[in-house]
Structure 1
Amino acid sequence: MNLPFSENLPVNRLASIFASTSATYKFYWFLAILELVEEGNTAIYKRNLFSRMISNSWYTVNYFHVSFGKQDLIQESVRSILKIENLTIDENKNKINAVLENTTNNQTIKILNHFDKNVPHWFISPWFSGNRNSIYLQSQNFDNGCLYSLEKDFININPLWSSYLKSNSKILKNFCYWNLSLFLQKRNPSVPDIPNKINKTITRNSLTKQTNEYWKLVFNELGSIECVFTGNKLIFDEKRYALDHFVPHAFVSHDLIWNLIPIDKSFNSYKSDKLPSVDKYFDKFFNLQKTAFEIVKNKNTKNKYLEEYLTIFPDLDNVNSFDYQRYKESILPLITIAHNNGFSFMKDRLPSSP
C-alpha cells in the first residue's frame, strides 16, 4: 500500500519512516497527528499527542491483549496508566484523552513525557541528520520540507503538509493501520483478526439473530437447557440466560455459532472475558453444541448457521461427523494462545446461584 503522491512534497521521506520499524510508536504518533490535524490544529501540544497514542492503543493492549513486544514503550505505558488512573479496560476513548490531557498525577505525567525523549524528533529524522538537538534546530524553518517543526512543548505542522494530511487523512490512516497490522501479526502469529483489534473501538454485534434463528429452535425442542457452567436449568427467557462466547469474544473477535452457547445470565458478567477450563467444561460444551446441531439440522437443513460449523468440520454432513476430538483440537489451541496473551482463567469457585 503506497502513500498518495504529491508533486510538491517529499512523500518518499514520509514513507521511509515506516520502512523499518522495531516498535509501534511511529504508527501511533502519526495517527495522533492525523486525528488532531483533522480537527483543525496546526500547533499541537505534545501532551495531547502522547495522550492520543495511549488512547488509540488502549483497547488493543488492555482488552484484546495483543502483544506489542517485550520492549515496546507504548504497551507498558498503557498498562501502567490503566492502574494509576483507575480506568477500565473498555474505557471510552474520549474519556481517556480527557483524563490524560488534564491529569495532575505525577506518575502519569512522567510516563507521557518519557515519549518526548525520542518520538517527536526521530519520527522526522528522514529529513535530517544529526542528534536530537540538531534535528530540533533544523526543523525550525521546515528545512528540507519536513513534516513539522519542533518546540519544547508542541509541534507546528508545516503549512505545505497541512492540506495534504487533511485531504488524504483516510488513506493515510489506512496506510498506518495496514502496516501496524503487519507489524503486530508477526509478533502475534496465532492471534486471529489483528486488523479489527487495532482500528476500531470495542463494539459487540447483537446476537438476536443467533438467538431467534438458532438457539430458540433448541429451547423449543428441549424445553430447557442446562448451563454448562452453573448447572442451572435455563428456559427461553432473556431475563434468565445470555448467549455467551465460550472462547472470549475479545480474543476470537467473531460471533460464529460454534463458539456461542446459552449460559446462566447471573454468571455471564462473572465470566466476562475469562477463559473456561477445557478439562472441566469442554465435554458439556461439546454435548450441548452437538445436540443443538442435530436439532436445528433436523428442523431446517438450510439454516444458515449450520454452515458456520464448516470452519471446524469441512466435511460435515450429519451429526455423525460432529467429531469430539476435532472440535476439542480446534478449541484447545485458542484457549492456550489466549492465555499466553494475557487472558486469565475463571476461578474454580462459582458465584452463588440466584
Structure 2
Amino acid sequence: MDKVKGKEWNVSESALISKINQERRLMYYFEKLNGMQTTIRFNADWLSYIHKNQEIIKGWMQYNIIVYLQRRNPSVPGIADKLYPPQERKLEKIKRYWKLLIEVQPIHEIYGHVQLSEKDISIDHFVPWSYVAHDEFWNLHPTTRSINSSKSNNLPTWDVYFPQLARLEFISYEMMWKYEILHDAFEKCAKEHLNDNAVRSKMYRKGQDFLCFSSVLEEIMQPVYQSARNCGFKDWIYKEAEADLMCVSDRKIANELWETTFGNGA
C-alpha cells in the first residue's frame, strides 16, 4: 500500500476501499462494503499459490505460533511437542528393561507399595509428560496401570515420594552394573531416553553410593518439579496409601519407611 500514505488513510471507508482496489497483485479485493456483510473477491493467482504451497505456509504459521508462545512462557519446556504431540510415545524399551529387572529382583512400585509383575506394569513420568514433554530415563519408573491412571497429570508429593523414587532408581542403577543382561538393556534405553551426555556421565557412572546417586537425581529433578508446581500442577498422594503416609513429613522418615518396606536395595 505504498500509494496510500499519511493523511490519505483518513478518508471514508468507501473512498479508502476504492484506493485499495486500485492496487495490483493484492490477495483480495473488496466488492461490497456493508459492515459484517462486506464481501471480498480473492485473486485467482493468490489462491493458486496458497493451494500449491499450503504445507510451507502452514509450517511457517506453526513455527511463529511456537516462537510467540515460547517467548511468553520461558519456564515451560517442550511447547512444540505439546502443541503437536507425538501420536505414539515409545516406551517399550523402558518397559522391557524393568521387566528384566523384576526377573532378577522383586520390585515394589513407589505409590502403593505393590509388588510389580510382568503382567501389570506401566511406565510413569514422575513429573508429568504434559509438563516435561520428554521421556528421559531419570523421570521414568514402573508402577501398575491402575495407579498410573489414578495419578494422571498430577505431581507426586515430593517429600513422600521422591525418597522412594530415588531408592528405586538406585536399585535399578546397582542392578544395571551388576548384571550384564540389564546393562545391555539399559544401553538400548539410553540411546533414546538419555539425551544429555552430562546427565548420563554424572548420574550413571559406575561406583556411586546411594547418597551420591540420590543427590544427583535431586539436582536434576527438583528444579523441573518445582517449575511444574509453579505452572499449576497439583500435588498428589495415592489414596489407598494416604493414611499410612500422612505422618511422612520429611526425607529421613520417608527413607526409613522405604527401607522398612523394601530393604536397603543391596
Tell me if TM exceeds 0.5. yes
Structure 1 segments of 4 or more deviating over 6 A?
Answer: none
Scaled by the length of structure 1, what TM-score is found? 0.54
Gaps of 5+ in 1: 1-9, 11-127
Q: Does the aligned pair in 1 maintain the 2:95–2:121 contact within 8 Å?
A: no
Q: Does the aligned pair in 2 maintain the 1:293–1:306 contact within 8 Å?
A: no
Distance 2:78 2:137 in 1: 17
- The alignment status of 1:344 with 2:242, answered yes or no, reads no
* Residue from 114, 135, 141 that aligns with 1:255: 135
Q: 1:141 to 1:351 in 2, by over 3 A?
A: farther
Identity of aligned residues (%): 28
Q: How far did 1:288 drift?
A: 0.7
* 1:48-103 deviation line (CA, Å, top 9, x unaligned): xxxxxxxxxxxxxxxxxxxxxxxxxxxxxxxxxxxxxxxxxxxxxxxxxxxxxxxx
In the other structure, the counterpart of 1:81 is: none
Q: Does the aligned pair in 2 maintain the 1:192–1:253 contact within 8 Å?
A: yes
Instruction: Give the greater-gyration-radius structure (CA).
Output: 2
Written as runs of structure 1 = structure 2, the 5 A alignment for 1:3-14 is: none
Distance 1:275 1:340 in 2: 11
Written as runs of structure 1 = structure 2, the 5 A alignment for 1:56-205 is: 137=17, 141=21, 143-149=23-29, 152=36, 156-198=41-83, 200-201=84-85, 203-205=87-89
Helix, strand or coil: the match of 1:244? strand
Give the letter for the 1:340 counterpart. N
Helix, strand or coil: the match of 2:208? helix
- The alignment status of 1:324 with 2:210, answered yes or no, reads no
In the other structure, the counterpart of 1:314 is: 201
Paired residues in the alignment total: 221
Distance 1:225 1:285 in 2: 12
* 1:276-327 deviation line (CA, Å, top 9, x unaligned): 1211110111111111122123323452324627453434421507522221
Q: How far did 1:339 drift?
A: 2.2
Q: How far did 1:349 drift?
A: 5.8
Q: Does the aligned pair in 2 maintain the 1:247–1:259 contact within 8 Å?
A: yes
In the other structure, the counterpart of 2:257 is: none
Distance 1:279 1:268 in 2: 19
In the other structure, the counterpart of 2:98 is: 215
Q: How far did 1:188 drift?
A: 2.0
Distance 2:107 2:12 in 1: 65
Gaps of 5+ in 2: 2-7, 243-266
Distance 1:131 1:225 in 2: 78
- The alignment status of 1:269 with 2:154, answered yes or no, reads no
Q: How far did 1:245 drift?
A: 0.9
Scaled by the length of structure 2, what TM-score is found? 0.70
Helix, strand or coil: the match of 2:87? coil
- The alignment status of 1:286 with 2:166, answered yes or no, reads yes
- The alignment status of 1:230 with 2:120, answered yes or no, reads no
